[in-house]
Amino acid sequence: MKIHEAEARELLARAGLPVPDADVATTAAGARAIAERLFAAGVPQVVIKAQVLVGGRGKAGGVKLAASAAEAETTAAAILALTIKDLPVRRVLVAPAATIVREIYLAALIDRTTRGVLVMASAAGGMEIEEVAAKDPAAIVREVAHPHGGLLPFQARRLGFGIGLRGELLKQFCLIATGLVKIARESDADLVEVNPLAVVPAPETPGGERLICLDAKVTLDDSALDRHPDLAAWRDADSEDPIDREAREQGISYIRLDGSIGCMVNGAGLAMTTLDLVTRAGGTPANFLDIGGGARADKVAAAMRIILADAGVKAILVNIFGGITRGDEVAKGLIEARAQQDRVVPMVVRIVGTNAAEAAVLLREGGFETATSLDEAAEKAVALAAAGGGK
Amino acid sequence: MSILVDQHTRLVVQGLTGREGGFHAGQMAAYGTKIVAGVTPGRGGEFGLDGTVPVFDTVREAVEKTNANTSCIFVPAAGAADAIAEAAASGIKTIFCITEGIPVHDMVGALAVVQQHGARLIGPNCPGATTPGVGGLGAKIGIIPASIHLPGDVGVVSRSGTLTYEAVQSMTDAGIGQSTCLGIGGDPIIGTTFRDALELFAADPATRALVLIGEIGGSAEEEAAAWAGEHLKHLPRVAFIAGRAAPEGRRMGHAGAIVSGASGRAVDKIAALEAAGFKVAGSPTELPRLLIEAGYTKR
């Protein structure tokens, strides 16, 4: 689950890491009040940032500077009226505009290859890390945190020295790097990324410079949200389609695509394969849908509702290889779903494995079009969709 | 011969008294697997599997009393990583974890304990492994339906559950039997990788050909391909990669892909496998034909 910059900043602040003195507003007047407070504290300029869970908000006009409270109000009003990549902007973060000396990249993330929490740092902050990796892979330094102890002090120092830090900045960097790993572990985050980690002027400190986490991105592990009800409450309901929400609440893994053949499959690998074979047969899948293991009739009916909510669906392909899942349960669910649905879409059903014989009887009595092999099922579904005006 | 599971397996089922654990223990026993113990903290002294298998409070006790050497874990997600660590710390050397949805940070810690004790973990979120035997008997650990198997000499390794069943069924239908079928699990952090599995099969004289079933995400298929290209030149080998038609960027964050030095796309995996001498199928149903084309002959 992705969380907004404002909440990511909150996580960093709770861990005692240096973040801007920022606040969130849902109205232009609210943004003005925050700006007034910041200007009164001596801030010369503020930045107003749209809180949306997509990249590229700067280019879309979602990040703007303001030099007065009045300007902050009109700018916030304009940003709150935006829709960025289909997501309406409901909130803005108002923060002091920083004078940046230079930018660093720092992230802690779960890494498949090292099977641990990997910390990556680069002196080339501000840019996307993908870009740095492509242009100058040697510019990224890495450490794998200790599996039980987190990022150890010597590892943090190696990272800091590795990107050319010394003295006071190195000390601050070590605290921040260690802190990001601590946040990742304690909040069950897959990713805690600070970009940029900015070097800013600080006349009052030795060396005259300090580090501040200007922007942060955090992704939480969906499998661990149950034990973090406070963090789960940060889910942005606006950025979630109602159909996606129903799928999530039913324990169905659903990704909408833009084709015409709705797919219902058990198991992620088989679901992906089903999309591949539909595509190979000349069709276009309307969705990825995995009903999971051991699904009962009611879950099958819910999956059917989710598929049919997509008006682009012209045919449905059901592909079940029973193991934990029982074929007759799926067949019952399909019959139940058909009795409830108000839109009739041609369907081809393939059920093999556990209780496939019982399922076959139910499907035959129900008059369903069936298929034996996966390839045959895909071809039939493509033909049905084409007959219905899809492809 | 086979890998990981055979007639010498003495299995302890962690979570035997639960619904899933109890049901699948029955299936495993019916297929010929020797189940010697169950573990459920607080239920020590009871008997599971129709009163035939003693249940212990701790894995250590189960090992001491029954000489269990392999574990299969059906413990719910919140406690599964701890169950893995307990098995490793109690002297179990081969641990299968079937549980799905374990928090990934828990796995980082548990895997370190597994490595510290020199144990091997398969999974989590995996279907297990089957070594088919004659007459519908053999040894199986986990949840793979016994009915799809045929004894033989082709090793199968897969990241997926039901897709494995699909592939194995198509082999069995074509009269091509399996030495061992192994599901390594679909989670980001797993104990046994494709490459590890290939090394095990390479050391098994009864395995004369290999089927690898991968999917998009990460770079485990590429790493396995690189190793196989060097070390498995003598074995016919075929593969299938799921996710050719999947939209990019919907399953995995870019940062993870960067670290691995690959983007996790199907086309890259297929290219890496083909470069390493694998024949790559466009559908799981093509695997039997490709095995023959790769030089495999039925015995």
> Which positions in chain A touch B189 (Cβ < 8 Å)?
110, 112, 115
Q: Which pLDDT value is given to residue A33? A: 97
Residue A115 at interface with chain B, using a CB cutoff of 8 Å: yes
Angle subtended at Cα B275 by Cα B272 and Cα B280, rounded to the nearest 5 degrees: 75
Residue B282 at interface with chain A, using a CB cutoff of 8 Å: yes
Structure tokens at A42: 């001596």
Residue B22 at interface with chain A, using a CB cutoff of 8 Å: no
> Which positions in chain B touch A266 (Cβ < 8 Å)?
162
Cis peptide, bond prior to residue A196, ω within 30 of zero: yes
Q: Which pLDDT value is given to residue B254? A: 34
If you measure CA to CA, which chain B residue comes closest to A129? B255
Residue A253 at interface with chain B, using a CB cutoff of 8 Å: no
Looking at domain A102-232, what is its CATH homologous superfamily?
A: ATP-grasp fold, B domain (3.30.470.20)
Residue type, B257: A
- Nearest by CB: B160 against A107, A267, A285: A267
Q: Which pLDDT value is given to residue B186? A: 86
Task: Classify A90 as helix, strand or coil.
Answer: coil
Residue A288 at interface with chain B, using a CB cutoff of 8 Å: yes
State the catalytic residues of A.
Answer: 105, 193
Residue B215 at interface with chain A, using a CB cutoff of 8 Å: yes
> Which positions in chain B touch A324 (Cβ < 8 Å)?
143
Would the pLDDT of B258 be above 60? no
> Which positions in chain B touch A256 (Cβ < 8 Å)?
none
pLDDT of B155-179, one tens digit each?
Answer: 999 998 899 999 999 999 999 999 9
Looking at domain A21-96, what is its CATH homologous superfamily?
A: ATP-grasp fold, A domain (3.30.1490.20)
Q: Which pLDDT value is given to residue A391? A: 61
If you measure CA to CA, which chain B residue comes closest to A270? B163
pTM, to two decimals: 0.92
Mutate: best of A183, A219, A270, partner B, most B CBs <10 A: A270
> Which positions in chain A touch B164 (Cβ < 8 Å)?
269
Measured in angstroms, the CA of B257 and the nearest CA of chain A are apart by: 9
Query: DSSP alpha helices (H): ranges in chain B?
Result: 19-31, 59-66, 77-89, 104-116, 162-173, 194-202, 220-231, 254-260, 266-275, 287-293
**CB within 8 Å: B284 and A148:** no
**CB within 8 Å: B108 and A107:** no
- Nearest by CB: B247 against A113, A257, A353: A257
Q: What is the CATH number of domain A241-387?
A: 3.40.50.261
Residue B164 at interface with chain A, using a CB cutoff of 8 Å: yes
Measured in angstroms, the CA of A269 and the nearest CA of chain B are apart by: 5
**CB within 8 Å: A269 and B104:** no
Q: How far apart are CA B210 and CA B234, in angstroms?
A: 11
pLDDT of B10-23, one tens digit each?
Answer: 999 999 999 889 99
**CB within 8 Å: B188 and A112:** yes
pLDDT of B28-37, one tens digit each?
Answer: 999 999 999 9
Count CB neighbours of A173 within 10 A. Answer: 23
B182 vs A268, residue with greater confidence: B182
**CB within 8 Å: B242 and A293:** no
Q: Provide CATH 3.40.50.261 ranges for chain A.
A: 241-387
> Which positions in chain A touch B283 (Cβ < 8 Å)?
273, 276-277, 280, 374-375
Q: Provide CATH 3.30.1490.20 ranges for chain A.
A: 21-96
Count CB neighbours of B135 within 10 A. Answer: 7
Q: How far apart are CA A361 and CA B295, in angstroms?
A: 41
Q: Pick the catalytic residue: B105, B231, B234, B254?
A: B254
Measured in angstroms, the CA of A154 and the nearest CA of chain B are apart by: 20
Residue B148 at interface with chain A, using a CB cutoff of 8 Å: yes
**CB within 8 Å: B246 and A270:** no
**CB within 8 Å: B105 and A117:** yes
Q: How far apart are CA B28 and CA B6, in angstroms?
A: 12
Spatial neighbors of B212 by CB under 8 A, at least 6 apart, are B157, B158, B194, B198, B221, B224, B237, B238, B239, B240, B273, B278
Q: How far apart are CA A136 and CA A151, in angstroms?
A: 25
Average pLDDT per block of 10 residues along chain A, 391 residues long:
94 97 96 97 95 86 95 96 90 95 96 93 83 82 96 98 96 98 97 96 88 95 94 85 86 90 93 95 94 84 93 95 86 90 89 90 92 94 86 61
**CB within 8 Å: B161 and A185:** no
> Which positions in chain A touch B161 (Cβ < 8 Å)?
267, 269-270, 293, 323
Q: Which pLDDT value is given to residue B249? A: 57
pLDDT of A117-136, one tens digit each?
Answer: 999 999 988 777 777 777 88
**CB within 8 Å: A117 and B188:** no
**CB within 8 Å: B260 and A270:** no
Q: Does the domain formed by B11-122 have CATH 3.40.50.720?
A: yes
Which residue, A98, A103, A214, is CA-closest to A163? Answer: A103
Structure tokens at A299: 């879950």
A60 close to A84: Cβ distance less than 8 angstroms:
yes
User: DSSP assignment of B184-216, as one string?
Assistant: --SSSS-SS-HHHHHHHHHT-TT--EEEEEEES
Structure tokens at A300: 């099958």
Measured in angstroms, the CA of A224 and the nearest CA of chain B are apart by: 5
pLDDT of B62-81, one tens digit each?
Answer: 999 999 999 999 999 999 99
Place of tokens 């009795």: A339
Measured in angstroms, the CA of B224 and the nearest CA of chain A are apart by: 12
**CB within 8 Å: B285 and A285:** no
Residue B112 at interface with chain A, using a CB cutoff of 8 Å: yes
For residue A188, the 8-state DSSP code is T
pLDDT of B185-206, one tens digit each?
Answer: 988 899 999 999 999 999 999 9
Residue B221 at interface with chain A, using a CB cutoff of 8 Å: no
Spatial neighbors of A71 by CB under 8 A, at least 6 apart, are none
**Average of per-residue pLDDT across B26-47:** 96
Q: Provide CATH 3.30.470.20 ranges for chain A.
A: 102-232
Q: Which pLDDT value is given to residue B251? A: 45
Mutate: best of B19, B108, B170, partner A, most A CBs <10 A: B108
Pairing of strands A116-122, A102-111: antiparallel
CATH class of B128-293: alpha beta
> Which positions in chain B touch A111 (Cβ < 8 Å)?
256, 259-260
Residues in chain B: 299
> Which positions in chain A touch B213 (Cβ < 8 Å)?
269
Q: Provide CATH 3.40.50.261 ranges for chain B.
A: 128-293
CA distances (Å), origin A337, targets A137, A321, A333, A362: 53, 20, 6, 14
Angle subtended at Cα A267 by Cα B202 and Cα A372, rounded to the nearest 5 degrees: 95
